[in-house]
Amino acid sequence: MKKVLGLVLAVVLCAAVFAGCSSQTNSVEKIKKAGEIVLLTNAQFPPYEYLGDDNNPAGVDIEIAQKIADELGVKLTVVDMDFDGLIPALNGGKGDFVAAGFTITEERKKSVDFSDPYATSTQMVIVTKEGPKVAEASVDALAGKTVGVQLGTTGDLFVTDEVEGATVKTYKSAIEAGMDLANGRLDAVVVDQLPAQSIVASNDKLMVYDEVLTTEQYAMAVKKGDTALLEVINKVLGEMKDGMTDLTQKHFDAYSGTPAA
**Contact residues for ligand GLN (CB under 6 A)?**
42, 45, 83, 100-103, 150, 153-154, 192
What's the Cα-to-Cα distance from 74 to each of 58, 94, 144, 238, rounded to whole Å?
18, 17, 50, 20
Residue with Cβ nearer ligand GLN (96 or 156): 156
Contacts (Cβ under 8 Å, ≥6 apart) of 72: 28, 31, 32, 37, 232
User: Closest separation between CB of residue 216 and ligand GLN, Å?
Assistant: 6
Residue with Cβ nearer ligand GLN (83 or 118): 83
User: Closest separation between CB of residue 92 and ligand GLN, Å?
Assistant: 19
User: Closest separation between CB of residue 108 and ligand GLN, Å?
Assistant: 8
User: Closest separation between CB of residue 61 and ligand GLN, Å?
Assistant: 9
Residue with Cβ nearer ligand GLN (102 or 252): 102
Residue with Cβ nearer ligand GLN (74 or 114): 114
For residue 7, report the phi and psi dihedrals to the nearest 5 degrees: -65, -45
Please confirm whether the linkage preceding 46 is cis (ω < 30° from 0).
Answer: no
User: Closest separation between CB of residue 83 and ligand GLN, Å?
Assistant: 5
Length of the chain: 261
Contacts (Cβ under 8 Å, ≥6 apart) of 16: none
Residue 61: beta bridge partners?
none
CB neighbours (10 Å) of residue 135? 12
Residue with Cβ nearer ligand GLN (27 or 154): 154
What's the Cα-to-Cα distance from 11 to each of 6, 8, 18, 239, rounded to whole Å?
9, 5, 10, 43
Contacts (Cβ under 8 Å, ≥6 apart) of 222: 27, 90, 96, 97, 98, 112, 113, 115, 229, 230, 233
Q: Say if residues 101 and 48 touch (Cβ distance below 8 Å).
A: yes
Residue with Cβ nearer ligand GLN (100 or 186): 100
